[in-house]
């Protein structure tokens, strides 16, 4: 349960959630090379995780703050593993909604369902490979 310095986050509910059918949930994202947790993320709707919108990153703080600091993609850094420095995502704009995002590199990460607590509690759940879902976003 939530103890020490953990934070329980709440799902965002806005127009982006509605356009994706409202099926929002938290994901813990891990580097596939070294297993380092690198982000707590809110995924809206079904389908593969192809990109990470900045406004859906809840933690860690340095990533979560990008949504207020960045106004265009040329300012954005690449998304890298904080531990082994593996490249995970590159800056992009999702033009349909004009939202800044990281385009995720297939196979660079693994995702796991989260209850929105950060830092994540270490449970013995099996990792789900990123991009192994059937549907596209
Ligand atoms: Zn790593």
The pairing of beta strand 79-80 with beta strand 99-104 = unpaired
Ligand 1 mean position to 131 CA, how many Å?
18
Low-confidence ranges of the chain (pLDDT < 50): 2, 124-126, 131-137
Report the C-alpha gap between 21 and 10 in whole angstroms.
18
Note whether 41 and 25 are within 8 A (CB): no
Ligand 1 mean position to 84 CA, how many Å?
4
Note whether 110 and 128 are within 8 A (CB): yes
Report the C-alpha gap between 40 and 54 in whole angstroms.
11
pLDDT tens digits for range 102-134: 999 999 999 999 999 999 976 544 455 554 444
Ligand 1 mean position to 40 CA, how many Å?
15
pTM over 0.75: yes
In the chain, where the domains are located:
24-129
DSSP state of 105: P
Ligand 1 mean position to 19 CA, how many Å?
33
Beta-carbon contacts of 97 under 8 Å, excluding residues fewer than 6 positions away, are: 16
pLDDT value for 107? 97
CATH architecture of the domain with residue range 24-129: Beta Complex (2.170)
């Amino acid at each position: 349960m939530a103890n020490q310095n953990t934070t329980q986050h709440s799902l965002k509910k806005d127009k982006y959630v509605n356009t994706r059918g409202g099926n929002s949930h938290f994901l813990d994202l891990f580097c596939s090379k070294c297993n380092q947790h690198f982000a707590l993320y809110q995924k809206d709707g079904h389908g593969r995780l192809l990109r990470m919108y900045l406004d859906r990153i809840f933690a860690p703080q340095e990533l979560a703050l990008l949504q207020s600091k960045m106004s265009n993609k040329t300012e954005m850094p690449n998304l890298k593993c904080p531990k082994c420095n593996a490249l995970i995502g590159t800056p992009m704009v999702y033009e349909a909604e004009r939202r800044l995002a990281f385009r995720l590199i297939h196979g660079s990460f693994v995702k796991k369902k989260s209850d929105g607590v950060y830092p994540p509690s270490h449970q013995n759940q099996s990792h789900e490979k990123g991009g192994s879902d059937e549907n596209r976003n």
